[in-house]
Amino acid sequence: GAAMAHGHGPGRCRCCGEEAAERGAAWGLYLRIDRQRLQCLNERREGSGATVFRPWEERRDRSQFVESDDDEELLFNIPFTGSVKLKGVIVMGEDDGTHPAEMRLFRNIPHMSFDDTAKEPEQTFSLSRDPLGELEYPTKIARFSNLYHLSMHFPKNFGAETTKIFYIGLKGEWTEAHRHEVTICNYEASANPADHKLEQITPQTHFIS
C-alpha cells in the first residue's frame, strides 16, 4: 500500500512524530551502556551520573541530573556492551554558570581517574550553554570507531562552584562484541587439561582489555 511507503525524496512531507521517533532512535546508544560498570567520579549523589543517560525523548526531565561535589569537575567512565562508532554528543545543563564549558573525550581507557585526565584526549570541545538539549557536537568518527569504553571529562564550567548536567546524548552505531576469540580459547583449553584449570580461574572477558 502507498501508505506504507517511506518517502525520503523531495516534495514528500513527513510528519513530525515519525521524524522525532527517528531522531530519538539515533540517540539510542544509552541502551548499549554496561550500567553495572558505569562510573561517574565526583558526583555529589551516588548513582546520579547514570541518570543522565536516558532516552532522547526524556532529555528535558529536570528531575534527573548529576551535580559535581568537591569542585566543578566531572568524569564519566562509560563501558559499552559491544563495539560502538560514536558520531555525536549532546550535553544539556542549566542556562547558568553550572553548565559545563568544556568536554574532553577519551577512548578505550577503562577506569580512568582524574590523574589520568592529564593525558591527551582524542577530542576536546568548547561547549555552549544548552538548556534544551539542542546542540549536537560531531565527533571525529575515525577516532571513535571500535569504541568499547568512552571517558568523558568535564574540567570546567561557566563560573559556578559546581557543575550540573541534566542529559548526555550519545549518537552512533553499535555492533555486538565478537566472541569468537573466546570460542578459540575454550577449544584449546579443553584439548589441554593443564590449560583448562587456568581457564576456570581466568575470567573469559580478559581478551577485551
Domain assignments of the chain as residue spans, ordered by start: 22-175
Quote the DSSP letter at residue 60. T
Q: What is the pLDDT of residue 175?
A: 92
Q: Are strands 66-67 and 39-41 parallel, antiparallel or unpaired?
A: unpaired
Q: What is the pLDDT of residue 17?
A: 67
Residues 6+ apart with CB under 8 A from 38: 49, 50, 53, 76, 77, 78, 79
pLDDT at 170 over 60: yes
CA atoms within a 13 Å half-sphere pointing along the CA-CB vector of 142: 0
pLDDT at 202 over 50: no
Cite the beta strand spans of the chain per DSSP E: 39-41, 66-67, 74-92, 102-107, 123-126, 137-138, 147-154, 164-165, 167-176
Residue 178 and residue 40: Cα distance in Å, rounded?
A: 27
Quote the DSSP letter at residue 23. H
How many Cβ atoms from other residues are within 10 Å of residue 50's Cβ? Answer: 19
pLDDT at 166 over 50: yes
Q: What is the pLDDT of residue 22?
A: 75
Query: Which has the higher per-residue pLDDT, 180 or 161?
Result: 161
Residues 6+ apart with CB under 8 A from 7: 14
Mean pLDDT, range 38-65, rounded to an integer:
97
* Grid cell in block for residue 169: 546524548
Q: Give the confidence band of 23 by pLDDT, cuts at 50, 70, 90.
A: confident
Class at the top of the CATH hierarchy for domain 22-175: mainly beta
Q: By three-state DSSP, how is residue 189 classified? A: helix
Residue 82 and residue 73: Cα distance in Å, rounded?
A: 28
| CA nearest neighbour of 151 among 72, 71, 40, 29 | 40
Handedness of CA 88, 51, 73, 60 (dihedral sign): positive
> For the chain, give me the number of helices (H) and strands (E)?
3, 9
Residue 3 and residue 204: Cα distance in Å, rounded?
A: 49
